[in-house]
Structure 1
Amino acid sequence: MIDVAVQLSVSDAGTRHQRRFDLDIAFATDAPFVALYGPSGAGKSLTLQAMAGLLPVQSGQVKLNGRALLDTAAGINLPPEARGVGYLFQHYALFPHLSVRDNIAFGLTSWRRRLKPDDAARVDALIESFGLTAMAASRPSTLSGGQQQRVALARALACEPQVLLLDEPFAALHTTLRRQLRGELREVQRRLGIPAVLVSHDPEDVMALADEVFLLDSGGVQRRLRADDPGLRAALESPS
Structure 2
Amino acid sequence: MIDVSLQLAVSDARRRFDLDLAFATDAPFIALYGPSGAGKSLTLQAMAGLLPVHAGHVKLDGRTLLDTATGVCLPPESRGVGYLFQQYALFPHLSVRDNIAFGLTSWRRRLQPADAARVDELIDAFGLAAMARSRPASLSGGQQQRVALARALARRPSLLLLDEPFAALHTSLRRELRDDLRELRRRLGIPAVIVSHDPDDVMALADEVFLLEGGQLRQRLRADDPGLRAALEGRP
TM-score scaled by length of structure 1: 0.97
Note the residue ranges of structure 1 that are not aligned, 5 or more in a row.
Answer: none
Question: What's 2:92 paired with?
Answer: 96
2:234 aligns with one of 212, 227, 238: 238
Question: What's 1:58 paired with?
Answer: 54
For the residue of structure 1 that corresponds to 2:69, the secondary structure is helix
Question: What's 1:229 paired with?
Answer: 225
Note the residue ranges of structure 2 that are not aligned, 5 or more in a row.
Answer: none
C-alpha distance in 2 between matches for 1:237 and 1:161:
33
Question: What's 1:49 paired with?
Answer: 45
One-letter amino acid of the counterpart of residue 68, structure 2: T
Task: Give yes or no for the alignment of 1:122 onto 2:115.
Answer: no
Q: CA deviation at 1:111?
A: 3.7
List structure 1 runs of 4+ shifted beyond 2 angstroms.
Answer: none
For the residue of structure 2 that corresponds to 1:48, the secondary structure is helix
Q: CA deviation at 1:116?
A: 1.1
Question: What's 2:180 paired with?
Answer: 184
Q: CA deviation at 1:223?
A: 0.5
For the residue of structure 1 that corresponds to 2:104, the secondary structure is coil
1:212 aligns with one of 189, 197, 208: 208
One-letter amino acid of the counterpart of residue 79, structure 1: P
Residues 147-189 of structure 1: CA deviation (Å, up to 9, x unaligned) = 0000000000001000000000000000000000000111110
For the residue of structure 1 that corresponds to 2:226, the secondary structure is coil
One-letter amino acid of the counterpart of residue 3, structure 2: D
Q: CA deviation at 1:34?
A: 0.2
Identical amino acids, percent of aligned pairs: 80
C-alpha distance in 2 between matches for 1:110 and 1:10:
30
What CA RMSD, in Å, does the superposition of the two structures yield over aligned residues? 1.0
Task: Give yes or no for the alignment of 1:74 onto 2:89.
Answer: no
For the residue of structure 2 that corresponds to 1:208, the secondary structure is helix
Q: CA deviation at 1:53?
A: 0.2
For the residue of structure 1 that corresponds to 2:5, the secondary structure is strand
C-alpha distance in 1 between matches for 2:79 and 2:168:
28
Q: CA deviation at 1:114?
A: 1.7
Q: CA deviation at 1:52?
A: 0.2
One-letter amino acid of the counterpart of residue 166, structure 2: F
C-alpha distance in 1 between matches for 2:201 and 2:229:
11
Question: What's 1:34 paired with?
Answer: 30
Question: What's 2:9 paired with?
Answer: 9
Question: What's 1:172 paired with?
Answer: 168
Task: Give yes or no for the alignment of 1:202 onto 2:198.
Answer: yes
For the residue of structure 2 that corresponds to 1:106, the secondary structure is helix
Q: CA deviation at 1:118?
A: 1.0
Q: Structure 1 residues 87-96 or 111-120, which shifts more? A: 111-120
C-alpha distance in 1 between matches for 2:61 and 2:106:
30
Q: CA deviation at 1:113?
A: 2.5
